[in-house]
Amino acid sequence: MATYKQIQGTAVQNYTNDPANPVKGQLWYNDTANSFKYSSISTTGSWSTGGDLNTARDDLGGAGIQTAALGFGGFSPPYQALTESYDGTSWTEVNDLNTARRTGGSNGTQTSALYYGGQPTPTGSIITESWNGTSWTEVNDLNRNLAYYLAGAGADNTSALAFGGGTDNPVPVTSETELWNGTSWTEVNDLNTARAELAGAGIQTAALAFGGDLLPGSQAVTESWNGTSWTEVNDLNLGRDRLGGAGTQTSALAFGGFNAPDFQTFYTESWNGTSWSTGNNLNTGRGEVGSAGSSNTSSLAFGGATPSQTAATEEWGAGAIITKTITTS
């Protein structure tokens, strides 16, 4: 009969303590625990630390994916025009926004992004700026009167959806939704629940809106956009506002945020296209967090309020090497 070494090419080693850096599939015997152990790849996600922003701030916009992201605007104080680019390890400052502001909606990639609305003053704005990978250019405004703490979705600077947010009259929050075609905004069907401080994920034809605030009142409401209208789907497990959001309509991540009365949360929830499930917490609890990411298995959280402004960045991913113990019955 073939031995383990003949099959695997290595012998099973004895260790007093588990090896510090086992490789995937490695098997060993732990003398202290009197048990066989092996290393495996985790299928559940978790947060690890990434490189800090150069300037700590909250309420900033975000675009891109975990290894190629863009963070812009925010509040330090004062309101910021700063733009920083992330390469998967560190942030580099690039060209500023034309108008310093926070709490705008955003979408796109590291090389093609859009930032709309937000607060250059406390009352908000309808300014839209387009990023071409090098610099920001002001383009046509949103149609509404004012917009801040709104959310966005969209593939790049030619295709976006802006929804919800704070406004002026007659109520402080709106359900308005607008569609960007690369040149101008068009008003389309409203959210079912008007709210501000919500998060978004997805693209112009398939988006997700989740969480938010009725001013006052943190929300767990989730709505799905099919390109024409919003449909209410399953709620978040924990209602919160000023949270981070990333991913797609069928694979999204919600993280951080505030829940009443105003406590910054560590919570992470994963959306599988049907429902939210709770996952491993952020390492640094925060609201007003910047976000980027492609799915519920790969996202980025940066900046935010802890309650003071933080520069901390965290990377969400699965695939960590974990140790398992072999048990017999």
Partner 1 sequence: MAKTYQYCVAENWGKGFIEHSESQKITFRGYPANVWQVPAHNKNANVWINKVLGQVKTKDEAQALVDAEVTASQTAWDNNNAIDGETIEQKIDRIGERPQDITLEE
x-or-dash string of contact with partner 1, 110-149, rule CB under 8 A: ---------x--xx--------------------------
Q: Of 112 and 294, which CB lies nearer to partner 1 in the complex structure?
A: 294
Does 59 participate in binding partner 1 (rule CB under 8 A)?
A: yes
Task: State in angstroms the smallest separation of the CB of 258 from partner 1.
Answer: 8
Put residue 182 in one of left, alpha, beta given phi > 0 → left and psi -120 to 50 → alpha.
left
Could you identify the residue written with the tokens 């905004």? Answer: 185
Cβ–Cβ < 8 Å for 35, 326: yes
Judged by CB, which is closer to partner 1: 130, or 297? 297
Judged by CB under 8 A, which of 55, 158, 184, 281 binds partner 1? 281
Please give the DSSP secondary-structure letter assigned to residue 4: H
Looking at residue 121, the DSSP 8-state letter turns out to be S
CB of 118 to partner 1, least distance (A): 12
> Would you say the C-alpha torsion 93, 98, 100, 101 has a positive or negative sign?
negative
Give the other-Cβ count within 10 Å of 226's Cβ. Answer: 11
Single out the residue of 329, 312, 326, 237 nearest to residue 27, CA to CA: 326
Q: For partner 1, which is the closer residue by CB, 44 or 92?
A: 44
Q: How many residues bind partner 1 (CB under 8 A)?
A: 42
CB-CB contact of 8 with 21 (8 Å): no
* Helix, coil or strand: residue 328: coil
Q: Which of 8, 35, 48, 145 binds partner 1 (CB under 8 A)?
A: 48
- Candidates 44-52, 183-191, 203-211, 296-304 — which segment interacts with partner 1 by CB under 8 A? 44-52
Residues 75-104 close enough to bind partner 1 by CB under 8 A: 75, 77, 89-90
Distance CA 262, CA 37 (A): 44
Q: How many CA atoms, within 13 angstroms, populate the side-chain half-sphere of residue 28?
A: 21
Task: Report in angstroms how near the CB of residue 27 gets to partner 1 at its nearest.
Answer: 18
Residues interacting with partner 1, by CB under 8 A?
A: 42, 44, 46-52, 58-59, 75, 77, 89-90, 119, 122-123, 258, 261-263, 266, 280-281, 283-285, 288, 305-308, 312-313, 315, 317-322
